[in-house]
Amino acid sequence: MIDRERAYAKINLALHVRRRRNDGYHELETVFAFCTDGDDVSVESAGGLSLTIDGPFAKGLSCTDNLVVRAARSLDDNRGATLRLTKNLPVAAGIGGGSADAAATLRLLSRTWVIDADLHAIAAALGSDVPACLSSIAARGEGRGELLDLLDPGELSGIPVLLVNPNIPLATAGVFAAWDGVDRGALSDWRSGRNDLEAPARLLVPEIGALLDWLAKLPGATLARMSGSGATCFALFDSMTSRDTARHATAERFPTYWSLASSLR
């Protein structure tokens, strides 16, 4: 029997960086939201643990040194499973990718293997965004992102969203390292918030600036911002029609860029 889980794409509606900690991580205030689309992880029971990867962004990924395998191993070091990851989301893109894959694996294998463990703690050890991806429900995050307060999903569910990435991978650690260290204040309402990693990400990928200007001016766009450490930027729309029109216009304006028309879940 095959069982599967979606690894929902994550966006940060706002992300305030407050300070660098002694352990090298940064203290954040963020609002996580999730798209209905993402990668897919499936499992078939089998003797040993194996992973195969397919999908548009499979190229270059390791089937052994992978967060999916690490997630499986941190759940149970001995049990086997035949795992398949369909990689629909770009890698090193600020939309959860590997974190969502790891979280989906934890949900999937804790069910398959009937394991009653503290999944939140296991998730936090795998990465800062993995606990948020575990529930994949809109949440306010603090600490390094692992301290979560779930939000009423009714506020966001169904909002049309367009994700656009210039097809330039951007490593999270490098963007945090380029943050200027200035605390620009607490996050209250995400709409009036900001992404403090946008400025350092733009230093590394200048394309982000023109992309955000473009997204903000699209008819029907209610908010345009960068997600996480970038380089993916997103816009929220007032209707599916304006989102789909925006996707076509964006593909014409930036023909080499990746885009995904989705909705918040």
Q: Return the active site residues.
A: 10, 129
Spatial distance between the Cα atoms of 183 and 59, rounded to a whole number of angstroms = 38
Shortest separation between residue 3's beta carbon and ligand C5P, angstroms: 26
- Crossing angle of helices 67-75 and 119-126, in 10° steps, is 140
Q: Could you say which DSSP state residue 202 is in?
A: H
The residue within the footprint of ligand C5P, chosen from 66, 74, 105, 172 (CB under 6 A), is 172
Contact present, 42 and 2 (Cβ < 8 Å)? yes
Q: Is 265 helix (H, G, I), strand (E, B) or coil?
A: coil
Spatial distance between the Cα atoms of 95 and 171, rounded to a whole number of angstroms = 12
Shortest separation between residue 169's beta carbon and ligand C5P, angstroms: 14
Shortest separation between residue 230's beta carbon and ligand C5P, angstroms: 12
Should residue 173 be labelled a site residue for ligand C5P when binding is judged by CB under 6 A?
yes
Should residue 128 be labelled a site residue for ligand C5P when binding is judged by CB under 6 A?
yes
Residue closer to ligand C5P (CB basis): 20 or 79 = 20
Q: Select from 3-11, 56-64, 76-84, 169-177 the region that touches ligand C5P (CB under 6 A).
A: 169-177
Contact present, 139 and 242 (Cβ < 8 Å)? no
Contact present, 126 and 71 (Cβ < 8 Å)? yes
- Judged by CB under 6 A, the chain residues 176 through 205 that form the site for ligand C5P are 176
Q: Is 156 helix (H, G, I), strand (E, B) or coil?
A: coil
Q: Select from 23-31, 161-169, 245-253, 256-264 the region that touches ligand C5P (CB under 6 A).
A: 23-31
Shortest separation between residue 144's beta carbon and ligand C5P, angstroms: 3
Q: How far is CA 22 from CA 19, 25, 26, 143, in A?
A: 10, 7, 9, 13
Locate 190 and state its tokens. 């995400």
Residue 24 contacts by C-beta under 8 Å, 6 or more apart in sequence? none
Should residue 28 be labelled a site residue for ligand C5P when binding is judged by CB under 6 A?
yes
Should residue 145 be labelled a site residue for ligand C5P when binding is judged by CB under 6 A?
yes
Contact present, 148 and 31 (Cβ < 8 Å)? no
Shortest separation between residue 127's beta carbon and ligand C5P, angstroms: 4
Should residue 127 be labelled a site residue for ligand C5P when binding is judged by CB under 6 A?
yes
Residue closer to ligand C5P (CB basis): 28 or 81 = 28
Should residue 144 be labelled a site residue for ligand C5P when binding is judged by CB under 6 A?
yes
The residues that touch ligand C5P, with contacts defined as CB under 6 A, are 24-26, 28, 127-129, 144-145, 172-173, 176
